[in-house]
Amino acid sequence: MKKKENSQHRSDPHVGEMKNMYLLGLDVGTTGCKSVIFTPDGEVISSAYGEYRLYHRRPGWSELDPKEVWNTTKETIRRSINKGKIDPKQISALSTSVLGDAFIPVDDAGNPLYWSMTTVDARAAEQTRWWEENFGADRIYRITGQPLTSSMPIYPLPKIQWLREHESEVYRKTAMFLCWEDYVNMKLCGKPVIDFSVASRTMMFDIAKKEWSREILETAELDENLLPETQPAGTVIGQLDSDAAKETGLSEETFVVTGGHDQACGALGAGIVESGPAMDATGTVECIGVILKTLSLTERARLQGFAVHHYVIEDRYFLFGFNPTSGVILRWFRDNFAEKEREEAKKKNIDVYDLLMSLAAESPLGAKELFFLPYFEGSGTPTFNRKARGVFLGLTLAHGKNEVLRSMLEGLSYELRRNIEAIEKHGTEITEIRAIGGGARSAFWSQLKADITGKPLVVPNVTEAAALGAAILAGIGAGIYENAEEALRGVYKEKSRFSPQAENMKRYNRYYDVYMRIYNPLVRIFDDLSELTKET
């Protein structure tokens, strides 16, 4: 493993001379990875997907096996090349979009010493509390842009501290702590280099100075040499080494380029290069992100849980909020209450979610005054309360499955509006919503979101926005594009647009007013439920 060598910058004149014109976007997520090969105009040549297991060895733990993830990743890359029936030398460059927060301790040879703790791994609550008490949540937010709270111990910083206290032998042997971007880059070309957006998620990166925070590292008693080299997204790191080429089926001539955090890559794939449009990525979790006009780190934003990162375009910053349970709530309903619909969908060879959406569409607007709080794993931004619970309010004998489904979609959409309003109060006007992820496939839900938020909703003509964003960064590094703006002029296309319907907006404003008054009276009850959980 090579440590902290200076990477080749994206403006390297030799890079732009390449004639090969395919780009590979690699999206490494929490439960699976996708390898997508694109033309420079954004056409998908081929794609492959591979799954790996998320382990829960103890309550509150959530881990990935790095060896299993890498084996799946390299096989997925190989399958995408074989499916596309292309010469690997035609792939000019690749870049990686990765899950945030997860990290891996490695030895001098780059071998993993421990499994990778993911975002939802909650073992470091005590260490996170230590940082609150001894460093201060506001102070760390103003350096890193990351909201520190012991109720959500998600960041690598306190988890590294947990390793030192509970796995001292692992900590002693660790040569570097790597996130998934720099780990994959190391496996591909021998150089563990991380971009600014993923570095932002460690809670150790000074986002204004664009360097590891000496102040935080000194407090943590952590040597900066244990952390990787940082570079802007779209920077060429090197070319594939021979071992990686053999394992993945790629060519040694392919350039490896810094990528970014999956949400930022998704926003880039959705064509977002300036302040105005908001990305709405609806999957298991729903994330809402915008580019800030200027870097702003306020106490109010911190208390609401909004994280601020470097974007994957240099000198631009990305604020994003989230709802921790969005699409997963629909999966919960499918698995527990939709046996009949699952059987029907199987017989008709259709997606069961399409069937559930059609049922929701049969319910009247407002779901017969049934309201739903989608807080199955606590609330995300802007209420940011891990103790919050899911709630149905207003049930009567007149309500059936259709109304329950519609109330769930409306509740999720009210949360989107709540986040949009909070972001706008922080000074960023949102002109339209760019919807990506599984939720964007539903025309009904897309129209519902437009009606509830009062914002136009656009569905881009891209199925894998994060992989496309990574591919764009690869193209910038390879010299195929001069910059992101030039890339998107040829790549970004609008598939469909949903404009708010005036009458529906008017009616939803009244329902939203009621929805906004449900949460506060329940906060103490959520606290009591949390105490009851501790007793059991």
When the pLDDT of each residue in the chain is averaged and rounded to a whole number, the result is: 95
Q: What's the CA angle centered on 73, arms 68 and 79, to 5 degrees? A: 125
**Cβ atoms of 481 and 40 closer than 8 Å:** yes
Query: Would the CATH topology of 15-270+462-495 be identical to that of 327-461+501-535?
Result: yes
Sign of torsion, CA 82 85 468 281? Answer: negative
Closest CA to 158 of 226, 106, 213, 103: 103
Tell me the C-alpha to C-alpha distance, in Å, between residue 417 and each of 269, 386, 425, 474, 509: 23, 20, 12, 34, 11
Cβ partners under 8 Å of residue 402, min gap 6: 359, 360, 362, 363
**Cβ atoms of 329 and 337 closer than 8 Å:** no
Does domain 327-461+501-535 bear CATH number 3.30.365.10? no
Distance CA 29, CA 406 (A): 29
For residue 463, give the amino acid letter.
Answer: T
What pLDDT, on a 0 to 100 scale, did the predictor assign at position 534? 79
The domain 15-270+462-495 is placed in CATH, from the list 3.30.10.20, 3.10.20.30, 3.30.420.40, 3.40.50.300, at 3.30.420.40
What pLDDT, on a 0 to 100 scale, did the predictor assign at position 17? 46
Distance CA 30, CA 51 (A): 9
Q: Which residues of the chain have pLDDT under 50?
A: 9-19
Distance CA 376, CA 379 (A): 8
Cβ partners under 8 Å of residue 59, min gap 6: none
Largest CA distance in the chain: 71
Q: State in Å, rounded, how far the first CA of the chain is from the last one.
A: 47
Sign of torsion, CA 98 4 477 196? Answer: positive
Structure tokens, 157:
């910083």
Name the strands in the sheet holding 22-28, side by side, starting at the edge strand that comes first in the sequence.
Answer: 44-51, 32-38, 22-28, 91-98, 255-261, 236-239
Distance CA 488, CA 21 (A): 16
Q: Counting beta carbons within 10 angstroms of the beta carbon of residue 341, is it exposed (0 to 12), middle (13 to 18) or buried (19 or more)?
A: buried
Closest CA to 308 of 208, 393, 240: 208
| Domains of the chain by residue range | 15-270+462-495, 327-461+501-535
